[in-house]
Each structure stands twice: as structure tokens, then as C-alpha cells.
Amino acid sequence: MTKIFPLGGISGVTKNLFVYEHNDDMLVVDCGIGFPDETMPGVEFLIPDSQYLQDRLAQGATLHAIVLSHGHDDHIAALPYVLREIDVDVPIFGSPLTAEFAMTRMADNGVEKEVQYFEDDGVLEFGPFQVENIRITHSIPDTRHLVIRTPDGVFYHGSDFKLDLTPVDGIPSDLQRVAEIGREGVLCAAIDCLRIERPLPAASESSVGAAIREEMRDVEGKVLVTLMSSSIHRIQQAVDVAAEYGRKVAFIGRSVEQNVNTAMNMGLLDIPQDMKVNKRRMDDIPDSELCVIIAGSQGQPGSSLVRAVFGSHRMISVSKGDKIIFSSDAIPGSEKDVYRTINRIASQGIEVAYAEMNPGLHVSGHASEYEQMILLHLLQPEYVSRSVVRIAIASCSA
Ligand SMILES: [Zn+2]
């Protein structure tokens, strides 16, 4: 019998780690961290509970591979900790960008380990499991859904996605392949249903540039844009808008700098060499010609943005005439930190723009009810997460 279960819990949206198990053979999908809330003072982040894997491995079961769906931290960043706990040499696979982000996260925590690239259209064999990856759009490039064939039938592992018809990189979701999988017959679909309460799709990620353009117009001083550091497509749009206004770009914050370097090296981010300013040379550029892309969109204490705003950053400070643009929303649990930061900015008389003022500054990376329905119609699975079925059926009969 094939079993599937999450070791990071089922009710939340982070700590993603799913185990597929058939007799003594196991496959893991994703290995992400979670984020603490105000009831967990002093906690930096949460990791999935790997005890089950440790127990099964001690009993002689085999973990064939860890397969990654995309490069968000809640899907990859627990790798160094879980790998240390389970203490087996297991191969890891992901799309090229996901693999590079995962290797960086591991190296940051003292684990030097290769993550192998998926081959396009390639099917990987792991004991009784066959794994195929399908391109799908989300708020980070190079995201995949996984088709996992087991002796009991086909599982469709639909991790985070939205059906973006005009993605920034022009690479659409491979819905043709999703439909073919549906015709083959799907036993069970496990699908991301964050934001399913929204009936209609959010705007395309490629629409965010227009909102950033609107906010960057007529700023006299420097512009700071803060966003999720993995939002490569949004960084591209911010850079493009900065170029239109004749501003050079500097990057501040470890995660932003790492991700920008990785994406540039892979050709996924296009920044003309003469536009990029070393953060140590920002003083050479007039404020009116500078755009700084800075980490800290969740108002995390100690982040680059918060230190800049509270006057304790070595390289950057803000003053009247500057403008700070939040191209992000507060993730649950971070609201107080975000609004404390926004209040501090406003109380210094510095202009600040955020999604509640200009909704175009952030779009969701997750599928609405309508997009869920499209995926389910293509897949026609025998089983699916109950909440998804309930809402999808309600829509179909409406
Ligand atoms: Zn995601």
C-alpha cells in the first residue's frame, strides 16, 4: 500500500515535507522551514519533525531521494537540519534554480551537498516510484509540479502554484502535460490550496512593475524597494523600472544578494553591468539616481531594511526625500513587525508605499478557486484533499 503524509503538519502552509511510502521504500518531497508566531519568543524558525524518518530508517527502510518542487524557503530551507538528523546520504533533485537555492541554503549551514538538476521531460526512477516534473507558474521562477507514479496509481503532487498566463519570463505552465496526465488517470491529487477562498485569479506577476513605476515616479531622493528575496521576477521588474528612471541599482541584504547573484549567473535575471552599483560605493551615486533593493520586507528585527530605518545600518540610512516601497504583503505572524517598520518610516516624514495603499504592489502567487477548478478538471483525480473538493464542487454546480 502507498501512503502519503506530511511531517510538517497538514493545517499550516509552511514546513513542507511530504513522505511517500510503499512498504519499505520512501520518497520525500520538499523540506522546508516554518516561521514562528508571537507565542514563540526567541524562535528563529521551525523545522518538520523527522523522527518518523529516523525510526523507519533504523528499521531498515530505504529513503531513495528528496525531490524539491520550488525554491521558497518553506520548501527547501530545512534541508541542512533534517539531513543532519536522518544522517543518510540521500540524493536530492530539483529544477536548476531550486537546486542552486537549496545548495546555497545548505552551504550557509555547513552542509556541502549537491542537488541534481531535473532533466526536462525526464522521468526519475526511485525504487517503486517514478517521478516526472511539470513546469508550473508561481511567484518564484522554475517551479514544478510532480507526478509520482506508484504501484498503487498516479499521485499528482501539486505544490504551490498560480496559473499565470503572462509570466515575467514568458515560460507558461505546461497544462498540456497536466491534461495528458489526467487522461492517464490520477489516483490522488494533493494540491496547494492557500488563497482558495478567493474566487478569481490574482493579477499576473508581470503587472507589479506598473505599480512600482507609479510609486517610483517623481521621487527626489533615493528609492528603496523591499520584497521577498526569492522574488526574482519582481526584482527584474524593479530593476527595469529603475532603468527607465535613470537610476542605478544596489542590492543590500544577504539573502537578496545571494539570490540575485545566483539568478544572474543562471541567466534568469538581466541587469546591465553598468547599472549595478556595489553597495560599498553607493555614496558615489547621487540619491536621485539610486534605487536600492533591500531585504527585510517582513520587518524582521535585524534585517537590512529595519536597520536602515532605525538608523543602525553601516552602509545606508534614509531621510526626507527618499521613498520606501514595500512590494510584498505581511506573511501571517509578521504583521506587527511590518507595521512597526512602516510607522517608523512615516514618523520620520519619509514617504512609504505598501500594498494596502496601492494594491498593485503585491499579487498573490497562489491559485484562486477558479484556477484550482481548471487544474482539477484537467486531472480528474479519484481522490483529492477534502477542502479542495468541497469548494471545487460548489463552483461547478454554481
Ligand atoms: Zn511557494
Alpha-carbon distance values, 221 to 216, 321, 339 (Å): 10, 5, 23
- 114 within 8 A of 140, measured Cβ to Cβ: no
Distance from residue 158's CA to the centre of ligand 1 (Å)? 11
pLDDT of the residue at 385: 60
CATH class of 2-200+365-396: alpha beta
Distance from residue 160's CA to the centre of ligand 1 (Å)? 5
pLDDT of the residue at 292: 98
- 259 within 8 A of 301, measured Cβ to Cβ: no
Distance from residue 230's CA to the centre of ligand 1 (Å)? 10
Distance from residue 249's CA to the centre of ligand 1 (Å)? 26
Residue type, 150: T
Per-residue pLDDT of the chain (398 residues; tens, 9 = 90+): 999 989 988 767 789 999 999 999 999 999 999 988 778 888 888 999 999 999 999 999 999 999 999 999 999 999 999 999 999 999 999 999 999 999 999 999 999 999 999 987 789 999 999 999 999 999 999 999 999 999 999 999 999 999 999 999 999 999 999 999 999 999 999 998 888 889 999 999 999 999 999 999 999 999 999 999 999 999 999 999 999 999 999 999 999 999 999 999 999 999 999 999 999 999 999 999 999 999 999 999 999 999 999 999 999 999 999 999 999 999 877 899 999 999 999 999 999 999 999 999 999 999 999 999 999 999 999 988 644 433 333 333 22
Question: Which one of the listed residues 138, 157, 362, 366 is annotated catalytic?
Answer: 366
Question: Which one of the listed residues 164, 192, 322, 337 is annotated catalytic?
Answer: 192
pLDDT of the residue at 394: 31
Q: Within 10 A of 365 (CB to CB), how many other CB atoms are there? A: 24
Alpha-carbon distance values, 312 to 6, 106, 295, 341 (Å): 41, 29, 15, 14
Kindly report, residue by residue over 237-279, the tens digit of the pLDDT. 999 999 999 999 999 999 999 999 999 999 999 999 999 999 9
Distance from residue 274's CA to the centre of ligand 1 (Å)? 32
pLDDT of the residue at 393: 35
- With residue 102 as reference, give the H or E element that holds it: helix 96-108
Q: Is 320 helix (H, G, I), strand (E, B) or coil?
A: strand
224 has which bridge partners?
Answer: 292, 324
- With residue 291 as reference, give the H or E element that holds it: strand 290-294
Sequence ranges of the domains in the chain: 2-200+365-396, 205-361
Alpha carbon dihedral 22, 24, 30, 36, in 10-degree steps, equals 110
Phi then psi for 385, rounded to 5 degrees? Answer: -50, 135
Active site residue 192: yes
Residue type, 149: R
Active site residue 329: no
Q: Is 348 helix (H, G, I), strand (E, B) or coil?
A: coil
CATH class of 205-361: alpha beta
**Which of 46, 45, 64, 63 has its CA nearest to residue 54?**
63
Distance from residue 70's CA to the centre of ligand 1 (Å)? 7
Q: CA neighbours within 13 Å on the CB side: how many for 110?
A: 3
Distance from residue 317's CA to the centre of ligand 1 (Å)? 31
